Structure 1
Amino acid sequence: MPTTPDTPATSGLVDGLLAAVAEQLGRPLPARLQDAFRSVPRHRFLPDRIWLRDGSGGYTPVDRATEPDGWLVAAYSDEPLVTRFTDGLPSSSASMPSMVARMLLLAGLTEAPAPHDARAGVRVLELGAGTGFNAGLLCALVGDEQVTTVDLDPTLATGAQENLKTAGCAPTVVAADGALGWPPNTPYDVALATFSVDRIPSAWLTQLRPGGRIVTPWTSAWCSYGTLALTTTEDGEAQGRFHSFASFMQMARPDAEPDPPLAEPEGAAGAATYSSTGLSPWAVAGGDLDAEFHIGLTVPGASFAWDTSGEHAATRLRLDDPTSGSWAAVDYDGRTAADFAVTQAGSRRLWDEIAKAYRRWEELGRPSVGRYGLTVTSGGTAVWVDSPAITVAAR
């Protein structure tokens, strides 16, 4: 069983964290979830060096040895904490506590079932052990023996297991590919991912009981945002809605290969076509998460990057599909925002696809993320708005 914080200072920091989470959610956490946060000390799941966002796109290190008070305060802040870098990029983190709480609420794990309720023995599969903190909360909510947590990285899995043991928790911890779930402990009632996916692995469906819940952050090449909550059916299918929160690291796979080098516009000038558009590139890639979410769902494989170097134009929006080698560029000359130059090359006309998707989003009434849903069947996946009758993408 989880232990409780053993110093008044830590208890006070937990109180502050719960208040910050309540402010983010607009309401206090259920008592059972508050008890879980109190019994699973977050600081016991963190390395001696962590990194906080610096507000300018970078990260600031905080060392326990040199800044013990600052480190402890950071441990109980409602902030994501980077715990490891790989090749100069964040590769593991401790999720923002309010995000963790939101996902546990979506999973339906925060209310105690009645003794006669079939949910009394709820079994949870966590995909992505990370530091082990989330698994500790799950142990507090459903019991150690009911929790299985999986991480692709053996080092992370070992570290999570050690952290959990220190905190008095003993779930099953496995070093394995999260996309494959963990068949030995099936069937599960809940599958909870701590990384983002762009499709639902079939193993997650087959390893859940009918009526089970899948909760996972979502991503696309265009937009990494949103959380999906699905309910499984008797015939092995699932349906549910997206929710407007969370941006997580993407699921790592053991067989993943880096994307091929992007085709440079100059190298394919002969295949390029030229036109103009009145649609502002900032409309589709300027931070409107609702628009970008729709584009990510409906234009698969397309990604973007901004070039403000001035080498090609005052500002250029670059679009790419590494799989096909297609690319597009939308140039702003620094003078008029009514007309933008468009260059496209490759088998896909990416800007045309993006513009079509944006127009469709406007026709639908500019829906927010929370109006979208997903249905997974044996025949494929369908994305819809408001109801399954209004399909906007299928694959």
Structure 2
Amino acid sequence: MTTPNVATSERIAIRGLLGAVNADLETPMRPEWERAAWNVPRSAFVPERIFLGDGLEPCNRADAPETWLRAVYANDSVVTQINDGQDPDDGERWASSSASAPSIVFRMLHMLDVRDGHRVLEIGTGTGWNAGLLAHVAGPGNVTTVEVDPALAAEAGERLRKKGVTADVVTGDGAEGHTGNAPYDRLVATCSVRSVPRPWLTQVKPGGVILTPWESPWVCYGLLRMTVDDTGAASGPFSPHSAFMLMRNQRTDLRIYRDVVRDDHQPDESTTDLPPWRVSGDDLAVQFAVGLLLRDVWWTWHDNPDVEGVASRLWVATTDATSWAAVDWDGKSDDRFTVWQHGPRPLWNEVEAAHAWWRLHDRPDPERFGLSVTATGESAWLDSPDQPVPVTG
């Protein structure tokens, strides 16, 4: 493939990508972001080897250039690292870093409202593409980006240098931010958090913006946009977008039979008329609300659990593995389910109460919720900060 053909293919791909992104956004992209997309092309930042499909099979640019280019300029995320960079051999593969879908990248850049001269702190460098876009608009030397993985940081720094982008790439824990170039006008995270790291508050100017993907153990969903006030506190609303990998220092690795349920547990038996899929299905609004109210509870489905009369079982457990519940569906009835609960907290009762609260408040979408954060704590709210939600856990 000759260089002119590659250049032509890329021009076509960029035009197509910008069209797809604009179709996804409520308002057209600002001209400066379109210029950034042309001047800081995504292909210059996605690594030569990516991982495709549910099986995360490797795709090397040298071996499959057309497949690689299609993946790079699709309006979708691209997995760029698996298993924290370790060789999985024949074991389980899981995504540990990715290039986010361009539509969410530009949606977040729009929400961040970066202007020329703004000092920006990015948490999670990844490939470096987002930092390159930010630097193109904020200006040379105004972007600091922090990456916990030394190899990813080094690779991103090299890509930025090759494109002539001046940005400060720092290897470190993003939860600590970076005091060296503070204070910042904007802080943006490209990984989700379950709790806002307090150092972020102290490193952003009053009136500055913090934008981060959000996750609860219940569901990974939502963007949180907060404004910092004169006291160093921050508050702002959620929006219903995104699903990002969790910040590494906030990860949990729990499995029901390995970490939670024990042979000597004697659970209490009861029944419920709340279908378990009602709080764990396609309705992300209710999942988001349950996740805000039950901040330390997660779930997993177990189909065909090899239990007589049980077609599917929903497991619910606390992140400290001290309480659990199981809700059984017999494959027939849709209005009566058997519940088993063990531990100091009756978890399914808590789930029922959270669902009832959500219904009582007119089934609010994520946009009606917000979060306020101070140096000593954080509180979720509905519609306004003076209406806190009843958080458990």
TM-score by length of 2: 0.92
Deviation, 1:258, is 4.7
Give the structure 1 partner of residue 377 of structure 2.
Answer: 380
In structure 2, distance between residues paired with 1:310 and 1:175 = 44
In structure 1, distance between residues paired with 2:329 and 2:316 = 14
**Is 2:354 the partner of 1:357?**
yes
Deviation, 1:25, is 1.0
| Structure 2 unaligned blocks of 5 or more | 1-5
Sort the Cα spacing of 1:36 and 1:238 in 2 relative to 1 into closer, same or farther, 3 A: same
Match of 1:317 among 309, 314, 318: 314
In structure 2, distance between residues paired with 1:236 and 1:89 = 37
**Is 2:188 the partner of 1:192?**
yes
Deviations 1:79-130 (A, max 9, x none): 1000111152111100101111011111111xx5xxxxxxx53100000000
**Is 2:274 the partner of 1:279?**
yes
373-382 or 284-293, which moves further after superposition?
A: 373-382
Equivalent positions of 1:247-258 (< 5 A) are 247-253=243-249, 258=253
**Is 2:327 the partner of 1:330?**
yes
| Structure 1 unaligned blocks of 5 or more | 1-5, 113-119
Aligned length: 376
What is the identity percentage for the equivalent residue pairs of Structure 1 and Structure 2? 40
Deviation, 1:379, is 4.3
Q: Is the contact between residue 126 and residue 192 of structure 1 (CA under 8 Å) also seen in structure 2?
A: yes
In structure 2, distance between residues paired with 1:12 and 1:193 = 30
Deviations 1:51-93 (A, max 9, x none): 23x3xx4445432122112211221111100011115211110
Give the structure 1 partner of residue 285 of structure 2.
Answer: 290
Equivalent positions of 1:1-395 (< 5 A) are 7-52=7-52, 54=53, 57-86=54-83, 87=88, 88-109=93-114, 112=115, 120-253=116-249, 258-259=253-254, 261-264=258-261, 266-269=263-266, 272-312=267-307, 313-393=310-390
Q: Which amino acid aligns with 2:107?
A: R
In structure 2, distance between residues paired with 1:26 and 1:201 = 30
160-169 or 213-222, which moves further after superposition?
A: 160-169
In structure 2, distance between residues paired with 1:300 and 1:192 = 23
TM-score by length of 1: 0.91
Q: Is the contact between residue 259 and residue 321 of structure 2 (CA under 8 Å) also seen in structure 1?
A: no
> How large is the RMSD of aligned CA atoms in angstroms?
1.9
Give the structure 2 partner of residue 116 of structure 1.
Answer: none
Q: Match of 1:218, SS?
A: strand
In structure 2, distance between residues paired with 1:154 and 1:65 = 25
Q: Match of 1:129, SS?
A: coil
Q: Match of 1:190, SS?
A: strand
Q: Which amino acid aligns with 1:192?
A: V
Runs of 4+ in 1 over 3 A off after TM superposition: 57-61, 255-261
Deviations 1:17-43 (A, max 9, x none): 100001111442111110111110111
Sort the Cα spacing of 1:22 and 1:257 in 2 relative to 1 into closer, same or farther, 3 A: closer
Q: Which amino acid aligns with 1:43?
A: S
In structure 2, distance between residues paired with 1:237 and 1:266 = 46
Q: Match of 1:285, SS?
A: coil
Q: Is the contact between residue 324 and residue 347 of structure 1 (CA under 8 Å) also seen in structure 2?
A: no
Deviation, 1:378, is 3.7
Sort the Cα spacing of 1:390 and 1:319 in 2 relative to 1 into closer, same or farther, 3 A: same
In structure 2, distance between residues paired with 1:334 and 1:70 = 42
Q: Is the contact between residue 324 and residue 348 of structure 1 (CA under 8 Å) also seen in structure 2?
A: no
Sort the Cα spacing of 1:384 and 1:131 in 2 relative to 1 into closer, same or farther, 3 A: same
Deviations 1:251-310 (A, max 9, x none): 012x977558422264302xx111000000011111210000011111121110101023
In structure 2, distance between residues paired with 1:169 and 1:30 = 20
In structure 2, distance between residues paired with 1:11 and 1:195 = 29
Deviation, 1:322, is 3.6
In structure 1, distance between residues paired with 2:240 and 2:140 = 30
In structure 2, distance between residues paired with 1:353 and 1:34 = 47
Q: Match of 1:338, SS?
A: coil
Deviation, 1:337, is 1.0
Give the structure 1 partner of residue 3 of structure 2.
Answer: none
In structure 1, distance between residues paired with 2:230 and 2:319 = 38
Q: Match of 2:146, SS?
A: strand
